[in-house]
Amino acid sequence: MIVFAHLLNDRSGSPRVLHSVISILGKDPHQARLLIGSDGAGILSSVQIPVVRYWYKRMPFRLLTLVTFMTSQVWLFFRLLLMRDLPRDAVIYVNTLLPFGAALFGKLTGRPVMYHLHEVSISPAPLQWMLVFFAKRTASQLIYVSEFHQRCLPMANIPFKVVHNANDATLILRASSHTYQPRPNGQFHVVMLSALRQYKGVDQFIELARLLASDTSIALHLVANDEDEEIARYFKQVQLPANLTVHPRTTDPCSFYERASLVMNLSRPDQCQETFGLTLLEAMSFGVPVIAPPVGGPAELVQDGVQGYLVDSRDTAALCNKVQALANDASLCEQLSAAAKNRSQQFTPDAFAAHMADIMAERGWA
């Protein structure tokens, strides 16, 4: 049996990757179980295995969220402890560093603990130190999503594998019938899918929109991984430029890729180094050129000048120049589009499934 543990059920990268893992390793619903926090209704709501909720509440203030997070892990630990039907050899699969309550349960009850890591840095720093401390002392196996990721978060004497994320099979099917257009409906559409966090480069995206405001043929779209209430709170004292539209959390990101001319990831290198960049890969599957940070996992995924460009988001003038160059050069867009589509085909569900199955077989957990 495999017991999967995750904290926040939304539509960000880590739960989407876990959804894929469950479809591979949790095919038998009698031999798999998922424990997720009670807050959130995202992609993990559709898994085909039994789901157990443990208490968690995301709060508008960071200190309160930290309190509810710590409380949630106590709930998770005891929720697992009360499951008398768990086999002694059940694998505890911890998705991200956050559900440490499950890792402690696994370690204290003699069950193997597999960590699927997605993050490099967590704020505040003492929280990250604590989470890494628990991972180092409980993990039997680590999975990293990129070579960069492993270099940034090494844990000595724990077996590890690097398994790049893959596109969802449903997304690939939809992308296969899509034909990229540099200017759908006559406009150049610049799209960024991101949580509303400063380290994600949201402020830089707004500044970019201001720099491009005089060109009415360029439209910018920020697809927030947040609901309307959180969006209103974040932009309460911000005057958004007319060429920028902010969209709430979507259940259909493909609809944005289908009308995108360019997709961006503007995570600030000084505050957040992405371990992979799943939205970039998804966009590339639709043949959409991308702009990505010049560091971290995205720099392994995107080759500068081939599938798009690697640009430091703090240099908004350089971003503006790249966007304008692409908006005025359809042939360049088509060239980048073809390369992006080709590159995305190296990250298939079959390859991902084979890597995951190999890890389980090597450890005797299959």
Q: What is the pTM of this model?
A: 0.84
Q: How far apart are CA 120 and CA 149, in angstroms?
A: 7
The model's pLDDT over 16-65, given as tens digits with 9 standing for 90+, comes to: 999 999 999 988 989 999 999 998 888 999 999 999 999 999 887 888 99
The dihedrals phi and psi of 114, each to the nearest 5 degrees, come to -110, 125
Q: How far apart are CA 101 and CA 141, in angstroms?
A: 17
Q: What is the pLDDT of residue 60?
A: 79
Low-confidence ranges of the chain (pLDDT < 70): none
Q: What is the pLDDT of residue 272?
A: 84
Q: What is the pLDDT of residue 219?
A: 97
Instruction: Give the helix/strand (H/E) hosting 126.
Output: helix 125-138
Q: How far apart are CA 32 and CA 22, in angstroms?
A: 8
Q: What is the pLDDT of residue 40?
A: 82
Q: What is the pLDDT of residue 209?
A: 97
Residue 191 pairs in a beta bridge with 221, 263
Domains of the chain: 2-166+348-362 (3.40.50.2000), 170-344 (3.40.50.2000)
Q: How far apart are CA 272 and CA 120, in angstroms?
A: 8
Tokens standing for residue 42: 């995202």
Q: Would you report the helix, strand and coil content of the chain in percent, each value rounded to 5? A: 45, 15, 40
Q: How far apart are CA 284 and CA 307, in angstroms?
A: 8
Strand segments, DSSP code E, in the chain are 2-5, 32-37, 51-54, 91-95, 113-116, 141-144, 160-162, 188-194, 218-224, 244-247, 262-264, 290-292, 308-310
The dihedrals phi and psi of 332, each to the nearest 5 degrees, come to -65, -40
